[in-house]
Amino acid sequence: MKILRKLYSYYYRWRYKKYTAVRCEELPEKLRNGKCYYLMDAGFAWGLSFKCPCGCGELVNLNLVGSRPVWNASILDGELNITPSIWRNAGCKSHFWIVGGEIKWVI
Ligand SMILES: [Zn+2]
């Protein structure tokens, strides 16, 4: 099964190498692949949620305000940019950047 998971991960990374931002007030029950949910409250972005781009299916939640760790996200020409990089400290331990909507893996 490990080999299947690895193959799926390659597929997922290829299929969803670009994430598109979706503004929402509330997170939908089922998150779509390749979508980055930009959580808004009264026109103010406070969080980001998306499925991990490695294909593990885990939810990644980022704070845009409040206490550390906190990320800076912007949408320029419709493309999402997040700084600093995202490094999951649990599960798959994926480490990546999102630049111009594209997932840039840190090897
Ligand atoms: Zn993952």
Q: How far is the CA of 2 from the centre of ligand 1 (A)?
A: 14
pLDDT of residue 75: 87
Q: At residue 21, what are phi and psi to the nearest 5 degrees?
A: -85, 135
Residues 6+ apart with CB under 8 A from 70: 63, 64
For ligand 1, the distance from its centroid to the CA atom of residue 42, given in whole angstroms, is 31
Measured CA distances, 1 to 6, 12, 21 (Å)? 9, 16, 32
- Please state, as a whole number, how many other Cβ atoms lie within 10 Å of the Cβ of residue 68: 6
If the chain, 107 residues long, is cut into consecutive pieces of 10 residues, what is the mean pLDDT of each piece?
91 95 94 95 94 96 93 90 96 96 94
H helix or E strand, kind and range, residue 7? helix 2-15
pLDDT of residue 1: 77
Where in the chain are the domains? Answer: 2-105
75 Cα: distance to centroid of ligand 1 (angstroms): 23
| Separation of CA 79 and ligand 1 centre (Å) | 22
- Beta 72-76 vs 102-105: how paired, if at all? unpaired
Ligand 1 centroid–CA 41 distance in Å is 27
Residue 4: phi, psi to the nearest 5?
Answer: -65, -40
Residues, beta carbon < 5 Å, ion ligand 1: 52, 54, 56, 92, 94
